[in-house]
Amino acid sequence: CIANKDQATVAHIGDTRLYHLRNNGILRRTKDQTELQKLLDEKVLTKARGKKYYRKNILLSVMTANREYELQTTSFTLEQGDRLLFSTDGAHSLVTVREIRDISVDSNTIVNFVKNLKSLIESKDIKDDYSVIGYEVKNE
């Protein structure tokens, strides 16, 4: 992700997610490149059945020198105070989008937001390594 004043451009492969938070709203700016996401898009599985799908972590596109991959790109506008959250599947599999949004709204700084989110994640039964990175737009 490159954030430049009032514009962000994202290049994405795999299942790490980028969430865009503004005020009380949250948007997912990336789409998982997984077998589960493909089956959800094709309406083969419902979201409820997808939660129990045994191959949900199978990646359809990964960056490697040995095979082709699909690079997703998108751009969007940023405003003062917007927050971006980069989250690996080990993190976003343990928290809901609503929990992410609520923690952001209740956290007065980006440092507190990430700290409070990590505390929630670490209170769960962690089964995978995880990473979260936060960024807040400050046009000074």
pLDDT digits (tens, 9 = 90+) for 121-132: 999 988 888 999
Rounded to the nearest 10 degrees, what angle do helices 110-122 and 97-106 cross at?
140
Nearest to 95 by CA among 71, 114, 70, 76: 114
Q: Enter the pTM of the model.
A: 0.89
- pLDDT for 92 beyond 70: yes
The DSSP letter of residue 139 is -
Low-confidence winner among 30-39, 59-68, 106-115, 129-138 (lowest mean pLDDT): 59-68
pLDDT reported for residue 116: 97
Predicted pLDDT at 135? 96
The rounded distance, in Å, linking the Cα atoms of 36 and 13 is 15
Judged by DSSP in three states, 61 sits in coil
Place of tokens 């994405």: 12
User: With bands split at pLDDT 50, 70 and 90, how would you rate the model's confidence at 37?
Assistant: confident
Q: How far, in Å, CA of 123 to CA of 16, rounded?
A: 21
pLDDT band at 120 (very low <50, low <70, confident <90, very high): very high
| Amino acid (one-letter) located at 140 | E
Q: What is residue 100's three-state secondary structure?
A: helix
Residue 134, beta-bridge partner list: 85
Give me the pLDDT at residue 112, please: 97
Q: Is the pLDDT of residue 58 over 90?
A: no
